[in-house]
Amino acid sequence: MKHIKTLNTQTLNNTIKKGGCGECQTSCQSACKTSCTVGNQTCEQSK
């Protein structure tokens, strides 16, 4: 595409299929403790 460069093809709705195992880290256990940072956690299944 000449006008658009797409950075990612993994779409959120695709994660419904594999999602929900719950093995991933709880967000406040990583570093924050004062904010909510779900979006920067990693999926346990993609490790």
Residues found near another protein in the complex (CB under 8 A): 1-13, 15-16, 18-20, 22-44, 46
* Min separation Cβ 27 and another protein, Å: 5
* Min separation Cβ 37 and another protein, Å: 7
User: Whole-angstrom distance between the N-terminal and C-terminal Cα of the chain?
Assistant: 31
Burial of 27 (0-12, 13-18, 19+ CB in 10 A): middle
* Min separation Cβ 26 and another protein, Å: 4
| Residue whose token pair is 């709705």 | 13
